[in-house]
Structure 1
Amino acid sequence: MATNSTTKKPAADAAAEESAADVTETAPHPARKPAPDPDVVGPALPPGVEPDAVTLAHHHTIDGTDYPPGAKLLVSPDYAQRLRGQGYATQV
């Protein structure tokens, strides 16, 4: 049978260590990125890229929102290409 060689600290010392740990300063939060343009739906735009306008040919759900046929959306160029390739957006 193995024995534990660690000694137990008195309750007063343990409480003092816990309160000292609560007082320690935390590192500042890293800089946050600005929220994407609310008119752009789907995957986020890469920095410096302009969104493409697409018109949906069929009902489609993006990020939990249903869009009817004929809805005009701003999306990232990559997402626009995928939507057009899969037949969800009209060809320009």
Structure 2
Amino acid sequence: MTTNTIKKTTAADESAGTATVEARPEHASRRAPALVGPPLDDGQEPVTVTLSHHLRIDGADYTPGAELTVSPDYARRLRGQGFTART
């Protein structure tokens, strides 16, 4: 059976030159890309949709009420599956 151990650092360790890594909030380092989902086809203009349900696209989580810029084909699929809010 494997157990997890936590190494406690002391002031002596930090003064000896041990570098510490500061935790960054995940939401600050993660920005929504300009276009979500599949790429645009030739001649298509992106469409902005508002989500009505939680959705995970390409490893990124989007909460209800989030506005996404997607291709028209992808917007049509999201509407058909009930993921977009009626506006």
- TM-score above 0.5: yes
Q: Please tell me whether residue 82 in structure 1 is matched to residue 43 in structure 2.
A: no
Large movers: runs of 4+ above 3 Å: none
TM-score, scaled relative to structure 1: 0.57
CA RMSD, Structure 1 to Structure 2 (Å): 1.0
2: distance between equivalents of 1:67 and 1:43? 16
Which digits, 9 at most, give the CA deviation of each residue in 1:40-77, with x for residues without a partner?
Answer: 10001002210111000000001110000000000000
Which digits, 9 at most, give the CA deviation of each residue in 1:12-38, with x for residues without a partner?
Answer: xxxxxxxxxxxxxxxxxxxxxxxxxx4
Identity percentage of aligned residues: 62
TM-score, scaled relative to structure 2: 0.60
- Structure 1 residue ranges without an equivalent (≥5): 1-37
> What residue is the counterpart of 2:6 in the other structure?
none
Q: Please identify the structure whose Cα radius of gyration is greater.
A: 1
Aligned residue identity for 1:69 = P
- Structure 2 residue ranges without an equivalent (≥5): 1-32
Matches within 5 A, 1:1-92: 38-92=33-87
The count of residues paired between Structure 1 and Structure 2 equals 55
